[in-house]
Structure 1
Amino acid sequence: MASVEQIMKEALALPSAARALLAEKLVESLEFDVDETLQILWTEEAKKRRDEVRCGAVQPITGEEALARVRQLLE
């Protein structure tokens, strides 16, 4: 059986669409209580933001840049 590290290495080598599908399936597999209404709203929001990036309406930034902006706001 492959180790978690090996699985992660192989998963990260997948094309982005395949990684997104895998991430979605992994999250779906987690068992926890979720407010269905909130889940629907968050899913709609995530898809809206994804579509804004895809069509060029929004320019994404790196995680490092986002954290730097947050830190600057907190100073």
Structure 2
Amino acid sequence: MAPAARSAAAKAKVARRHHADGTPIHSFQTLLTELATIVRNTCCTSAEADAPTFTVTTQSNPLQRRALDLIGQLAV
């Protein structure tokens, strides 16, 4: 069995390295790297053990939000 041939649109997308809407094309690994930049930091107001703390979560960018939306649609 011969491997499937890529369509002209698929070849153009690979050459551009961007989707038609301008977003970059990612591999699974690069998408995970992008998602890994979303972090939750627990901050402390002083060095004392009983000092109050608060949590700060970074804002996701549009690509990260889209990926998280798609992940949320997966049935497990």
TM-score band, normalised by the shorter chain? under 0.3
* TM-score, with length taken from structure 1: 0.24
If you compute each CA radius of gyration, which structure gives the higher value, 1 or 2? 2
* TM-score, with length taken from structure 2: 0.24
Higher relative contact order (CA 8 A, sep 6+): 2
More helix by share: 1
